[in-house]
Structure formats: C-alpha cells, structure tokens
Chains A and B, each alone.
Chain A
C-alpha cells in the first residue's frame, strides 16, 4: 500500500505547483516523495535537492515539524498522513 503525505509548498516554489500551497504526494521516503513531486511538477526537485540527491544546504525540509537534517535527511522514512514542509533558507552575509 502506497504512502501518501501532505506537502506544504513555500511561496517561492508555488510557481511549480500552479499556486497550490499544499499538495499530496506518495513515497515511503522523503526522496521518493520528492521524485513524485518532480513527476507531477517538473523542475521542483532540483530546487530542493543537490545532484547527489541530498537536500540542499540552504533548503530546509521538515517532517511533522522536525528538520529532516535531524532525522535521516533525504532517506527519512515516511508514513501515510505525515506532513512535509519545505522552506528555502533566508540567509546571507556581509562577505
């Protein structure tokens, strides 16, 4: 049975989802969910992952409010009903 999760889409990435702030996606891991999102919304995944599949340093992905970096990153296991939230960093510096 497939795992279905809700994904919260941040404002800067809503141009990939037709303006939707929340979409459904399937996948037993975060990586599979991002694959599924990319199939539905081409170009989405590269905004979130590096070429090696890991989550970009300056993008944060949360699973039920916990940063995936504190879990298993892109390999984090998911169960139906989980909520995935994606937030591009707000960061910079004087250098």
Chain B
C-alpha cells in the first residue's frame, strides 16, 4: 500500500498535531484507516505505556478496530501515528525494534520546536526504515 509518497489530508495532519499537543509531555498515538493506502478516517487511541518516552496503543481497541470496525467499512490500517514530544520526527531504536506492521506507514509528529510541529512518514520492515514523502 505504500510507495514513494503518502497522501496525508491536511485536516488529519492538523488533528495529529492537536492530539500531540494535547497529550504532551506524554506521547500520543492513533491510527489512520482506509483502503488501498488512501486515508479515510483517523482514530485517536489510548496510550497504555507508562511515562513520557513510550507509547503502546491499547490492544483491546486494536482488536475491535482490526477485526470489526475497519472490515465493516472495507478498510484496513493505513498508517500508525505517535508523537515525539522532545525529539526529532524519526524512528527511534525502540520504534524500529517494535514495528510489527510492515504494510502501514509510521507517522511521527515532533514537538521538539513547539511553535513548528512537524510530521514525517516511514515504512519500517524487518528493521529497515524508508522515509516517504508526505503530501497533503
């Protein structure tokens, strides 16, 4: 579903930034669902990880989305997003080690410069990271 670029609608990019700002200093997380790599809907999800340096999306929410809500719409997971409140928008070693969805785009929103949040997108497959061009 991924190619050289990923179309992230401007309103979804704005929502990711707003979610990131609302959760800081904790990391926010969520996913974007759609079909054939086209983003249709953004879901803000619960971060169950403790502290401010980790995220783990509530697996109960994922269970419902992956096997009920998304298939009912003909959708699948297109992108997974989380924030880096104090570090750049690039996958950390933890992000790479725990990446288990090779067909999804991993979006990272940095708040390192709070006045200029930024979002970058990557695929992470078997430890190999490739950056995608984000279009809106």
Contact = CB atoms under 8 A, between A and B. Distances in A.
Interface of A: 8, 10-12, 21, 58-60, 62, 65, 67, 85, 87-95
Interface of B: 27, 29, 31, 49, 53-57, 59-60, 62-63, 66-67, 71, 76-77, 80, 82, 84-87, 91-96, 98-103, 106
A19 to B, nearest CB: 12
Nearest to A47: B100
B92 to A, nearest CB: 6
Given A67-B59, A92-B95, A94-B84, A87 B49 contact: no
A78 B62 CA distance: 22
Contact of A90 (B29, B87, B102, B103): B29
A95 B101 contact: no
A95 B97 CA distance: 11
A93 B53 contact: yes
A95 B85 CA distance: 11
Contact of B55 (A8, A10, A12, A92): A92
